[in-house]
A and B are shown apart, each in its own frame.
Chain A
């Protein structure tokens, strides 16, 4: 079956994805909360999922932690069934160490670093000028 896979799609490496691992928003207004679910690619966002694989809380708690839970065993199973992953889930799994770190994570990191440097520079120069005065 694995050998035939390439033939069926004119040399493309994988069968067309029918399942996707993605976020499903579960919170209320102004309070996002996400379930990590596996669903049909074309299913509506409000449809009940095939299976829940974890949760993600994008708002930091009192200890400044963003809590996430993941069921690696089932994620591994669904990936073996040919399920794809959405970009946010890829980023999250990259940060969790399950996937390689997503390029966007690197990009946001270096952009934030650059911005922080610039702001710190402006602050230091601003304070110096005030001291001189």
Chain B
């Protein structure tokens, strides 16, 4: 430690050393708080509010008065309210009777409240149950309807497929189909005119003969 600040070596052992003045080793990045604000940054410190001495003394006086008054007021409230109970409990038998009477009255009111509340609760739960049941039934119907629609759609697809199946050539019908094809040769060498006329043949030219023209099916 003394090697870092050699000036300290000169101090006699009887001299008091204010170590807070010196920053012997800066072991953290922050400037230590005891070094205070820099001279050039003193403007950052806001000015203390200037309270006149008169005002301070006046406030002190009225605050003292207020506290004293409030203390006595609190005592007054506490004692005053508890005195009611003290009066009621002078005779233990009498106070017991009063307490039981009061308890009966209060419990009757409480029972009435509980009864009303029970009615309301039962009504509420019955209504809730009914709503839940109707909701569930509605859901079941909806699901059934959905399933039926799906079934119908599937059946429609199957029906269409079945209709198309009739024209498919199966191995049984193969010979018949060949015979039919050989018996009815189809010439696909034709052209269509814009007005729908079909001109048969590969090299024929359009003629005025109506017999050669065949009206194409629209």
Contacts and interface: CB of A to CB of B under 8 A. Distances in A.
Given A99-B70, A100-B69, A2 B77 contact: no
Contacts of A13: 71, 75
Interface residues of A, number: 17
Interface of A: 1-2, 13-14, 76-77, 79-82, 90, 99-100, 102-103, 106-107
A99 B69 CA distance: 9
Given A1-B82, A79-B77, 20 more contacts: A2-B82, A13-B71, A13-B75, A76-B81, A77-B81, A79-B73, A79-B74, A80-B77, A80-B80, A80-B81, A82-B74, A99-B73, A100-B65, A100-B69, A100-B73, A103-B59, A103-B63, A106-B62, A107-B55, A107-B59
Contact of A80 (B65, B69, B82): B82
Nearest to A82: B78
| Chain B interface extent, by class | 10 to 19
B89 to A, nearest CB: 12
A16 to B, nearest CB: 13
A100 B81 contact: no
Nearest to B73: A99
Q: Which of B62, B69, B75, B82 has the most CB of A within 10 A?
A: B62
Interface in B40-73: 55, 59, 62-63, 65-66, 69-71, 73
Main DSSP-derived SS at the B contact region: helix
B168 interface: no
Contacts of B70: 90, 99-100
A4 to B, nearest CB: 13
Nearest to A98: B73
Contacts of B73: 79, 99-100
Contacts, number: 38
Interface of B: 55, 59, 62-63, 65-66, 69-71, 73-75, 77-82
Given A76-B77, A82-B78, A103 B71 contact: no
A41 B211 CA distance: 114
Nearest to B67: A103
Contacts of A76: 77, 81
B66 to A, nearest CB: 5
A14 B74 contact: yes
Contacts of A106: 62
A103 B62 contact: yes
Nearest to A90: B70
Given A13-B71, A99-B73, A100-B69, A80 B78 contact: yes
B77 A102 contact: no
Contact of A103 (B66, B74, B75, B80): B66
Q: 4 closest Cβ contacts across the A-B interface?
A: A80-B81, A79-B77, A103-B62, A80-B77
